[in-house]
């Protein structure tokens, strides 16, 4: 059932109250309802975008240039999946471990903990045929597969199921503004609409699923105003925030395109092996080739003919046989998790009186090193095998150069801020996504990622939500 | 259709930069020139 906050009964209670109806919140709600658990799903927006709701996302960014945060996420039913692109990939086993000495990338869980949810996540995201990785010769890289969701719009896909479910009530225009806690237990949360109507929602378990920036902002706010018993204090809330830096990194001339497996979007993907990352002291990354038409390739070929006339001339012949191609080399990569990249509370307040987010984001030397290593390995592989030549952008060749700030800065992937850890000294939530120091307050979404791998985050967000549903069902004895 | 492009069409002087660096490679020495990662004999 869907109801606007203003029309809802005064007395609202459920087994589980989920705050935020995006990929994380909706995956969790549908799975809990299937286990006969009563859920109230509070969504800040309505069924369509509205200025009143979207304006709450206005925020300030500091450090490296970053996207406008008011448009980088969507604040209505279905959340940011209302305009995501649908690129999907699971995290690698190595992503859960330490990769570079002194860099805190390890998770308190392993890939095996998420594997049981792989197939169902694929069904939710409507992915087909996820292929295994293959070694790219002796380059230290793998040829990898990415899958593409249609893309699933969670709001549209699950509206009818949630509406008909006996176990779910979706409360629209319900903005989390406060929480009431006693000892280590959250008893109720307060939600407010745009006209000032308020409700208190009582539940046995609460889950915040408001996205990779809002989860931090709202927990920082609740910590400031209330007596939430965050163990270890609020020191780590909002900290170790991460993106996947994105950039075009060069051009590739390929003499025999049959050596590649371009998909229907003319894309082919590569990423380093765990051994390569360890050897090079680099984090994870994703290189992708986007093949271009010959029209866009003339200048690149002309440039290649200058520096490698024999290869260039051979390639010209290959073009005649329709075997050669030119591709743009792009990359998205794992960012070093660092304390100073953070969501904090700014001076400015939103319409509910809550301080707006301030995002501090900078890319580090390790971020530069990471992509340089993979890009060089790929370029060397093509030259070694004599199947192509790569021209890398100048900023990549100079270890002291900064990273560029072109149109592409990141993937709109907002991760970290409420990182998962073994103990409260290392993070905000435990391996079950429960906030340290509380008995019944959980976080869903990519804010719990302690490190980001290179994989687009939504696949792992859904896997984590399904795993969380399993955990919560275990706490509620009447679950079917 | 085979493309007819002659190297004479390109102004080599303008396009070729002086930047040349050598990098270690597994099989043979590779070099970097004007951003291109090349084989030694290129
Ligand atoms: C342009 C673009 C392209 C993208 N492409 C990809 C891609 O190809 N692959 C990929 O993996 N990811 C992609 N993403 C990221 C993807 O959209 C997110 O990972 C995903 O939507 C996160 O799900 P979520 O549920 O955690 O957050 P969201 O989907 O943002 O949902 C959060 C929900 O919480 C609600 N909410 C917020 N505050 C409150 C409050 N105070 N009270 C109640 N409710 C609240 C919001 O209204 C929203 O409905 C893309 C993002 C963008 C912007």
Residue A193 falls inside a structural domain: yes
pLDDT single digits (tens) A142-173: 999 999 999 999 999 999 999 999 999 999 99
Neighbours of A450 (CB within 10 A): 25
> What ipTM did this prediction achieve?
0.85
Give the pLDDT band (50/70/90) at residue A78: very high
* CA A476 to centroid of ligand 1, rounded, Å: 28
Q: Which residues does A contribute to its contact with B (CB < 8 Å)? A: 138, 250, 294, 298, 301-313, 316-317, 319-321, 376, 379-380, 382-384, 386, 389-394, 397
Task: Find, in chain A, the residue whose alpha carbon is nearest to that of B26.
Answer: A384
Closest residue by Cα to residue A362 from A479, A240, A209, A191: A240
CB A256 within 8 A of CB A323: yes
Tell me: pLDDT of A227 over 80.
no
CB A284 within 8 A of CB A92: yes
Return the bridge partners of A191, or none: A176, A199
| Interatomic CA distance for residues A347 and A356, integer angstroms | 7
CB A171 within 8 A of CB A40: yes
- What are the angstrom distances between the C-alpha of A238 and each of A189, A276, A414, A415, A434? 21, 31, 11, 10, 16
Residues of chain B with Cβ-Cβ distance to A384 below 8 Å are: 25-28, 30, 39
Per the structure, how many domains does chain A have?
1
pLDDT on residue A438: 94
Neighbours of A51 (CB within 10 A): 7
**Closest residue to B30, CB basis, from A305, A380, A393:** A380
Residue A138 falls inside a structural domain: no
Nearest CA to ligand 1 atom 1: A84
- Cβ distance B2 to A310 less than 8 Å, yes or no, reads no
pLDDT single digits (tens) A409-460: 899 999 999 999 999 999 999 999 999 999 999 999 999 999 999 999 999 9
- Cβ distance B28 to A392 less than 8 Å, yes or no, reads no
**Closest residue to B25, CB basis, from A310, A380, A390:** A380
* CA A459 to centroid of ligand 1, rounded, Å: 12
Residue A352 falls inside a structural domain: yes
Structure tokens at A190: 């307060």
pLDDT on residue A46: 98
Task: Supply the mean pLDDT for chain A.
Answer: 94
Give A252 to chain B, closest Cα distance, Å. Answer: 9
CB A254 within 8 A of CB A324: yes
Per the structure, how many domains does chain B have?
1
Residue A68 falls inside a structural domain: yes
Task: Find, in chain B, the residue whose alpha carbon is nearest to that of A375.
Answer: B37
| Interatomic CA distance for residues B23 and A373, integer angstroms | 12
CB A59 within 8 A of CB A358: yes
pLDDT on residue A180: 93
Domain containing A156 equals: 2-95+151-245+337-362+407-475
A interface mutation test: which of B20, B23, B42 has the most A CBs within 10 A?
B42
CB A268 within 8 A of CB A313: no
What is the residue whose two structure tokens read 């305009």? A83
Tell me: pLDDT of B11 over 80.
no
Please list, in sequence order, all residues whose beta carbon lies within 8 angstroms of the beta carbon of residue A392, skipping any fewer than 6 positions away.
A249, A250, A329, A375, A376, A379, B32, B35, B37
Structure tokens at A272: 């380093």
**What is this structure's pTM?**
0.94
Residue A297 falls inside a structural domain: no
pLDDT single digits (tens) A100-139: 999 999 999 999 999 999 999 999 999 998 889 999 999 9
Residue A276 falls inside a structural domain: no
| Interatomic CA distance for residues A179 and A227, integer angstroms | 9
Residue A201 falls inside a structural domain: yes
CATH number of domain containing A441: 3.50.50.60
- What are the angstrom distances between the C-alpha of A288 and each of A138, A246, A316, A333, A378? 18, 11, 23, 11, 10
| Interatomic CA distance for residues A31 and A180, integer angstroms | 26
Residues of chain B with Cβ-Cβ distance to A389 below 8 Å are: 36-38, 42
pLDDT on residue B7: 33
- Cβ distance A389 to B5 less than 8 Å, yes or no, reads no
Domain containing B35 equals: 2-39
Closest residue by Cα to residue A19 from A190, A143, A241, A232: A190
| Interatomic CA distance for residues A255 and A310, integer angstroms | 12
DSSP letter, residue B41: T
Closest residue by Cα to residue A1 from A48, A46, A56, A39: A39
What is the residue whose two structure tokens read 């990622």? A449
A18 vs B26, residue with greater confidence: A18
Task: Find, in chain B, the residue whose alpha carbon is nearest to that of A313.
Answer: B7
**Closest residue to B37, CB basis, from A302, A386, A389:** A389
């Amino acid at each position: 059932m869907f109801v606007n906050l203003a029309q809802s009964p005064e007395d609202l209670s459920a087994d589980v109250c989920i705050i935020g109806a995006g990929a994380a919140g909706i995956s969790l709600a549908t799975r809990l309802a299937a286990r006969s658990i009563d859920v109230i799903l509070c969504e800040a927006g309505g069924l369509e975008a509205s200025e009143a709701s979207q304006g709450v996302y206005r925020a300030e960014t500091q450090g490296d240039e970053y996207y406008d945060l008011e448009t980088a996420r969507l604040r209505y039913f279905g959340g940011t999946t209302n305009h995501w692109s649908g690129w999907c990939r699971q995290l690698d086993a190595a992503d859960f471990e330490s990769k570079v000495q002194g860099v805190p990338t390890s998770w308190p869980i392993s890939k095996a903990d998420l594997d049981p949810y792989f197939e169902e996540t694929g069904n939710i995201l409507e992915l087909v045929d996820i292929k295994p990785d293959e070694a790219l010769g002796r380059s230290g890289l793998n040829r990898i597969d990415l899958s593409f969701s249609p893309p699933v719009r969670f709001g549209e896909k699950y509206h009818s199921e949630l509406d008909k479910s006996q176990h779910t009530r979706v409360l629209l225009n319900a903005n989390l503004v406060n929480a009431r806690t006693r000892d280590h237990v959250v008893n109720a949360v307060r939600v407010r609409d745009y006209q000032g109507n308020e409700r208190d929602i009582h539940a046995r378990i609460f889950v915040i699923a408001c996205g990779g920036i809002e989860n931090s902002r709202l927990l920082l706010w609740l910590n400031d105003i209330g007596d939430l018993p965050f163990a270890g204090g609020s020191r780590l809330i909002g900290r170790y925030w991460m993106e996947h830096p994105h950039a075009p990194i060069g051009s590739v001339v390929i003499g025999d395109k049959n050596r590649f497996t371009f998909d229907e979007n003319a894309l082919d993907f590569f990423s380093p092996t765990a051994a390569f990352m360890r050897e090079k002291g680099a984090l994870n990354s994703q290189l992708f080739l986007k093949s271009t038409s010959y029209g866009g390739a003339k200048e690149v070929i002309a440039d290649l003919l200058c520096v490698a006339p024999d290869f260039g001339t051979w390639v010209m012949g290959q073009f005649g046989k329709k075997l050669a191609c030119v591709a743009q080399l792009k990359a998205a990569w794992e960012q070093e998790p660092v304390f100073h990249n953070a969501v904090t509370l700014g001076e400015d307040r939103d319409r509910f009186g809550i301080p707006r987010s301030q995002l501090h984001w900078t890319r580090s030397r390790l971020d530069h090193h990471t992509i340089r290593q993979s890009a060089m390995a790929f370029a060397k592989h093509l030259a070694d095998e004599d199947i192509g030549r790569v021209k890398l952008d100048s900023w990549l060749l100079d270890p002291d150069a900064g990273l560029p700030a072109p149109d592409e800065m990141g993937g709109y992937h907002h991760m970290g801020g409420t990182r998962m850890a073994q103990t409260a000294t290392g993070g905000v939530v435990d391996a079950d996504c429960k906030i340290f120091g509380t008995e019944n307050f959980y976080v869903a979404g990519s804010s719990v990622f302690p490190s980001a791998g290179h994989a687009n985050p939504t696949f792992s967000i859904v896997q984590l939500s399904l795993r969380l549903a399993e955990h919560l069902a275990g706490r509620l004895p009447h679950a079917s | 259709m085979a493309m007819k492009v002659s190297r004479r069409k390109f102004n080599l002087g303008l396009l070729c930069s002086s930047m040349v660096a050598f990098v270690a490679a597994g099989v043979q020495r590779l070099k970097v020139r004007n951003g291109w990662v090349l084989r030694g004999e290129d």
